[in-house]
Structure 1
Amino acid sequence: MNSARTIGFIGLGHMGGPMAANLVEAGHRVLGHDLVPELLAAAVGTGVTAAGSSARAAAAADVVITMLPAGRHVLGLYREEGLLAAARPGTLFIDCSTIDVADARSGHEAATAAGMRALDAPVSGGVVGAEAGTLTFMAGGGDTEFAEAEALLTVLGKKVVHCGGSGAGQAAKICNNMILGVSMIAVSEAFVLGESLGLSHQALFDVASTASGQCWALSVNCPVPGPVPASPANRDYRPGFAAPLMAKDLGLAANAARAGGVRAELGLRAAELYAAYAEGAGTDQDFSGIIDTVRDSGVRDRATPPDAPRTAPDNRPTTA
């Protein structure tokens, strides 16, 4: 039996474009749409068929995949822009965007009310993973929906995990990226500390990568050039996973922690640091470039004499 599907793919950016191309390569018919003409043209160059609009893509599709910047874009597309209304009853909607858990659940509800089926399936692995087809998918939704989606998602990734019901995929994604953000800051601080102590980057890497300090932020996305040739640090921090995206994900995690009354001190602080970095020097850099912020902070701290008086909020000198 021919397993090829007709897939509507909405959002053909740095992640969506390569994902759509991999589906085409696997033999599926992909009807794509993106508001940016250059992105759409690039996708067409890989074999994607330009649908003309998101609604037209959905109308002819067995499955609709969305990869969009934020929850408001997903919900707007579902509701105001008629994506759900255009699709055939029973069409499976798979949202691979990283959005708020509440927005993901609202999307499920909207799809179900319109007679559709839905799965939230955010990804981990960045642009490199999207291009190589080695992403990890974290899926939330029903067993039947997951079983149908799994055959497509395994074309795009090396790992597909059913995390639970509606919104569970998004919950897993923001928890994972809170770990990643905190880890990258910790690894960056360790390398800067090592520099101050006269320790070479390679020596620290050789120890930590085979000891208890081993983690993905060190062994795969090492924030200093040299030890891991494929890491962004070796190409001026050109993004694999851009700092603004990390800031966005940590912001979602921070909001969820506050709403749930979770005391996530490191997660909240990481969200603050990445928000500042993404708005400044990290606007167009990989999230591992935050090591430069760590270095700069140390330089500023050393410029202040250790016995300088601290100040109260009104700038009056204060004692410990």
Structure 2
Amino acid sequence: MTPSLTLGFIGLGAMGGAVARRLAAGPWRVLVHDLAEAAVARAVAQGAVAAGDAGAAIAGADIAFTCLPTPELAEAFWQDHAARLREGAIAVDLSTVDPATSRRIATLVAAGGRARFAACTLGKTPAMAERGEIPVFFGADDPSLLETLRPVLAQMASTVFDMGSPEGATMFKLISNLVGMTNLVVLAEGLQLARATGIADDTFTAALKTTGGWSVQADIRLGWMAAADFAPRFAVDLATKDVRLSVDTAARRGVPTPVAAAALSVFSLARAAGLGAQDAAAVAVPLGPRPA
């Protein structure tokens, strides 16, 4: 994969924007598009080129990335634009979607035999993505795509896991978020119970670190939760969507997920309380004491 390649990138939200800026620091021409002009400007400041519209970003791209917030938006984009991919292009969807949606996108991209498709879901945080310190979970029907894309993936990520298929890549991301967000709800319950017992937040945090109750979510979000710092990094709306997709997919496959379903109800409470745009740590709010 040579430096003369052109990458197209659609969707510059928190995670997508971080990945696009990371790619723009590499040896490729990166065309970007997003409805938010400020997000485009940030990517351009890191070396990307603003495309006139979404179609222009991918029409001439050797590799076309999408990172969109919902399955519906990801599928609709490829319904509208798959035919604009050039001969031999590779479409890479980074979005967190369900396996059925990923399969439909793969079919759209492959129609006519012009292009190939890979799902490549992402782990950890936008800040880590900015530094190329995230894992990626790859899946494609054509196993040779992994080696073809490896130089670009190496710029994006510290670790690449081959999940064997688009469904495998998307399902693993849902599983990861099911476990992580369910853990976050339990962490919020623990914090509220500690407070109700009179345990200071800093003591609770320090003591929890010495036990099996500690987790990656505690490492990332317990401090924000304790300080009521809910500035959006990964929003309640997105966490709710991911857990909903996880529980729904599990139900369709006959796998019971009662604990995750309970966590989903707590995220739904946070959304109902108007916290959807705030960080997932805000799931603690509806679990806390009601105002007098």
- TM-score, with structure 1 as normaliser: 0.84
Q: Secondary structure at the match of 1:143?
A: coil
Residue of structure 1 in register with 2:120 after alignment: 121
Post-superposition offset of 1:45: 2.7
**Structure 2 residue 83 is matched with structure 1 residue 85:** yes
Residue of structure 1 in register with 2:134 after alignment: 135
> Counterparts in 2 of 1:47-196, with a 5 A limit?
47-79=47-79, 81=80, 83-115=81-113, 116-141=115-140, 142-196=142-196
Q: Secondary structure at the match of 2:9?
A: strand
Aligned CA RMSD, in angstroms, stands at 2.1
**Structure 2 residue 235 is matched with structure 1 residue 242:** yes
The answer to whether the 8 Å contact 2:270/2:285 transfers is no
Deviates more, 1:145-154 or 1:105-114: 145-154
| 5+ long unaligned stretches in structure 1 | 226-230, 304-320
Deviates more, 1:99-108 or 1:66-75: 66-75
Residue of structure 1 in register with 2:266 after alignment: 273
Query: Which structure would you say has the larger RCO, counting Cα contacts within 8 Å and 6 or more residues apart?
Result: 2
Residue of structure 1 in register with 2:246 after alignment: 253
Residue of structure 2 in register with 1:14 after alignment: 14
Report the AA paired with residue 176 of structure 1: S
Residues 156-211 of structure 1: CA deviation (Å, up to 9, x unaligned): 22222111212111100111111011101111111211122222222222232222
The answer to whether the 8 Å contact 1:232/1:239 transfers is no
Post-superposition offset of 1:36: 3.0
Residues 271-309 of structure 1: CA deviation (Å, up to 9, x unaligned): 12112312424222111121122113xx49xx9xxxxxx
Post-superposition offset of 1:235: 6.9
CA separation of 1:171 and 1:85: change in aligned 2, threshold 3 A? same
Tell me how far apart the structure 2 counterparts of residues 287 and 5 of structure 1 sit (CA, whole Å): 37
Tell me how far apart the structure 2 counterparts of residues 173 and 39 of structure 1 sit (CA, whole Å): 25
Report the AA paired with residue 215 of structure 1: S
Report the AA paired with residue 125 of structure 1: K
Q: Secondary structure at the match of 1:75?
A: helix
Post-superposition offset of 1:239: 1.8
- Give the % identical residues: 26
- TM-score, with structure 2 as normaliser: 0.91
The answer to whether the 8 Å contact 1:232/1:240 transfers is no
Post-superposition offset of 1:121: 1.0
Report the AA paired with residue 268 of structure 1: A
Tell me how far apart the structure 1 counterparts of residues 16 and 97 of structure 2 sit (CA, whole Å): 15
Post-superposition offset of 1:2: 4.3
Report the AA paired with residue 177 of structure 2: N
| 5+ long unaligned stretches in structure 2 | none
Tell me how far apart the structure 2 counterparts of residues 252 and 195 of structure 1 sit (CA, whole Å): 32
Higher-helix-fraction structure? 2
Residues 5-55 of structure 1: CA deviation (Å, up to 9, x unaligned): 210111122222221111111221101112333332332232211221222
Residue of structure 2 in register with 1:316 after alignment: none
Tell me how far apart the structure 2 counterparts of residues 168 and 258 of structure 1 sit (CA, whole Å): 17
The answer to whether the 8 Å contact 1:93/1:118 transfers is yes
Q: Secondary structure at the match of 1:136?
A: strand
Tell me how far apart the structure 2 counterparts of residues 10 and 23 of structure 1 sit (CA, whole Å): 13
Q: Secondary structure at the match of 2:52?
A: coil
Tell me how far apart the structure 2 counterparts of residues 233 and 218 of structure 1 sit (CA, whole Å): 11
Post-superposition offset of 1:221: 2.0
Q: How many residues align?
A: 290
